[in-house]
Structure 1
Amino acid sequence: MFEIVVTLCLMTEPDICRQQLAPGFETSARADCEAVLTGDTIRNRMQMADGLVFRETHCRPMADGLQLTEIADNIFVHLGRIAEADPANLGDVSNIGVIIGETSIAVIDTGGSRAVGEALYRAIRQRSSLPISHVILTHVHPDHIFGASVFAETGAKVDGHPDLHRALLDREQSYLTGFEDLIGRRGFLGTWPVRPETAPQEIDLGGRVLTLNIWPAAHTTTDLTVMDSATGTLFAGDLIFHRHMPALDGSLKGWLRVLELLPDLKPSRIVPGHGGPVLTMEEALMPMRRYLGVLEADTRQALENGERLGEAVNHVGKSETDAWELFDLFNTRNATEAYTELEWE
């Protein structure tokens, strides 16, 4: 299979360039690819961030895609790295799901840069030529959303929590700046945010129905889960972390309540937002409840002792240090969020 790539460069720094996939122009033969190699057609399909210029377009054999593992019938998961985004991983630090129905395909989360989204797109096209009808974003965080533009360009509908659109507008610039700093300008080049719509309660992929559940404030204020009814597979997003330190950006009390409700969905298997990639209900819930319970108990004790925030964050949650990877990156913020929430009960 052949693909078209476009060389994009920064207008102000023309030596900083990246070859960007033009999705939707794949062909089985090079001659067919070259026949559609018209700059205007490709430019009209693709959206571009400000400050970029086209250098050239050309055909080439399709590059390798992300590694996808089939965890149930026609359900695939890509295991993101348990790491902070950096120039080597390009923001490939969260789990991604792909569900193939009889008539179309849904993608669940898309990674932390356009480059990750392109690699995901290639992996899907190497398995199926069905249209990718939906991209479902489980929440607002940048490591889950920045690959979505690849699929939006081919006509996929981008769905999320009813508050996701507003949350992205509020945080968009800081997310773009922050992830460009982590990944580097070259690797992040071409990444731009999409505008999600409110997700429906169900999505029919043809012989396969997905149920989408909207949750109150928990990990974030924009959490959504996806259940495949055919296999009982629950994509939990970052409501469930495994190995990777949980990150609190919504409500501690709300998150604990949501963890009590998840078993009501009766999933056969759970795909967390990080780690796994496949967990039983017990494997998913026990570490999460333990850590969030410690966070709550330690914070309440600090407040009872009259400790100021600066004192409390030095010890709240610290008994969990050895239980999670990336603990030092997230626990201080978690303690701060917990203290701020519980202080005003």
Structure 2
Amino acid sequence: MCTPAQLQVITRPGTEETQTVAGALKRSVSRRDLLVGSLAFSVAPALSHFSAHADAIMAFTEIAPGIFVHQGRFELQSPLNRGDMSNTSFVVGTDAVAVIDTLCSAKLGSELRAAIRAVTDKPVRYVINSHMHPDHVFGNVAFKNDDNVEFIGHHKLARGLSARADTYLAANKMMLGDDAFAGTEIVLPTRGVDDKVTIDLGGRQLTLEAQSVAHTDNDLIVSDSATGTLFLGDLLFSGHIPTLDGSLRGWLSLIDKLEHYKPTRVVPGHGPHAMQLPEAVGDEKRYWSTVATDVRRMIKEGKTMNEATKTAGQSERGHWKLFDQYHVRNVTAAFAELEWE
């Protein structure tokens, strides 16, 4: 049983209101247990009188009415942190709930599902994956037995994830350990987005837009009509160094476009709960521009990829967490791409 010290807090920024939320509840939250805000879809839990039953629970912040975000850690996944290393969100409408990214294991996906149930009894109708990386999709399995749930991703996600399935499963099991990874399996999208799709949660619509190759070749952006919130997935890193599994040139091109977007707020895949454009993409743009400039110069000078990994982009070292873990991979990918431009 969770003790009071184990309870997490959901805070709505800009107010004094906080609520304790357990990762699993003895019973579902009924309508009379919800505090309904000025908008019909804005809900907040009143749960201080409930008993909680879970070994671990998950904290969310309500960044706008009906939009809840959990911030992952800036760490490599391990048994100690259970792989809680990326952001996950859910959006509550008057009729249904949509989840955006589900973390990296069945257990964390189950905690996410329990956190949703602590906020609302509305059904989860949509599980949206921003791209194929394990820390954003492996929690899908926690929702696969929900009635009428639809899994949605970029039309290239299923192919990409299927191709790497065995590698991803083995690597993540090794990093997390048998216990933390238990029950995890791959659940592919049941619906692919080729261009743009709109889904209705009741009182608000989410627009899902497939992107060209950038962070990966299967990035998806989600925007909420009711609050002007834009979910960028791993197209936006803040604090945590960006990682390249697609196209550096494509990513820089997309960043140029994002600088002209005018959402109310953006949610990164790794970083704070919410940020503002265009400032949010400034560090990321500087990093990739620096890597591109250095790599192009070294290619022109006849340097090898190995030489580039030792010096290109090193001026960025002090600006990012996990720089030593990912930067060499980024330079390697950038060199392979730019060598043939």
Distance in 1 (alpha carbons) for counterparts of 2:290 and 2:310: 14
Please state if 1:175 is matched with 2:171. no
Distance in 2 (alpha carbons) for counterparts of 1:245 and 1:130: 36
Question: What is the identity, as a one-letter code, of the residue corresponding to 2:85?
Answer: V
Distance in 2 (alpha carbons) for counterparts of 1:265 and 1:201: 19
Distance in 2 (alpha carbons) for counterparts of 1:332 and 1:134: 36
Please state if 1:267 is matched with 2:240. no
Paired position in structure 1 for 2:254: 258
Q: How does 1:116-265 map to 2 (within 5 A)?
A: 116-155=108-147, 156-196=149-189, 197-199=191-193, 201-265=197-261
Distance in 2 (alpha carbons) for counterparts of 1:280 and 1:308: 39
Distance in 2 (alpha carbons) for counterparts of 1:263 and 1:101: 29
Deviations 1:227-268 (A, max 9, x none): 001111011000000000000110000000111122444211
Question: What is the identity, as a one-letter code, of the residue corresponding to 2:186?
Answer: P
Distance in 2 (alpha carbons) for counterparts of 1:76 and 1:128: 12
Structure 2's unaligned 5+ residue stretches are: 1-23, 30-50
Question: What is the identity, as a one-letter code, of the residue corresponding to 1:69?
Answer: T
Pick from 113, 137, 145 the counterpart of residue 105 of structure 2: 113
Question: What is the identity, as a one-letter code, of the residue corresponding to 1:206?
Answer: G
Distance in 1 (alpha carbons) for counterparts of 2:314 and 2:25: 51
CA RMSD of aligned residues (A): 2.0
Contact 1:62 1:122 in 2 (8 A): no
Contact 2:258 2:278 in 1 (8 A): no
Structure 1's 264 and 204: CA in aligned 2 closer, same or farther, altered over 3 A? farther
Structure 1's 25 and 97: CA in aligned 2 closer, same or farther, altered over 3 A? closer
Contact 2:82 2:176 in 1 (8 A): yes
Structure 1's unaligned 5+ residue stretches are: 1-23, 30-59
Question: What is the identity, as a one-letter code, of the residue corresponding to 2:282?
Answer: M
The TM-score normalised by the length of structure 1 is: 0.82
Deviates more, 1:262-271 or 1:224-233: 262-271
Paired position in structure 2 for 1:343: 339
Deviation of residue 25 (structure 1)? 11
Contact 1:65 1:121 in 2 (8 A): no
Deviates more, 1:60-69 or 1:283-292: 60-69
Contact 2:63 2:274 in 1 (8 A): yes
Sequence identity percentage: 43
Paired position in structure 1 for 2:314: 318
Distance in 2 (alpha carbons) for counterparts of 1:263 and 1:25: 42
Secondary structure in 2 matching 1:207: coil
Pick from 279, 283, 297 the counterpart of residue 283 of structure 1: 279
Deviations 1:186-233 (A, max 9, x none): 110100000112146111000110011110000011100110011110
Deviations 1:65-100 (A, max 9, x none): 310100000100000111111002211100001100
Question: What is the identity, as a one-letter code, of the residue corresponding to 1:286?
Answer: G
Distance in 2 (alpha carbons) for counterparts of 1:285 and 1:187: 33
Question: What is the identity, as a one-letter code, of the residue corresponding to 1:108?
Answer: I
Aligned pair count? Answer: 294
Please state if 1:299 is matched with 2:292. no
Q: How does 1:29-178 map to 2 (within 5 A)?
A: 62-63=53-54, 65-155=57-147, 156-178=149-171
Secondary structure in 2 matching 1:93: coil
Deviations 1:302-333 (A, max 9, x none): 10110011111111111100000000111000
Paired position in structure 2 for 1:331: 327
Deviations 1:244-297 (A, max 9, x none): 000011000000011112244421101100011211113311101100000100
Contact 2:28 2:117 in 1 (8 A): no
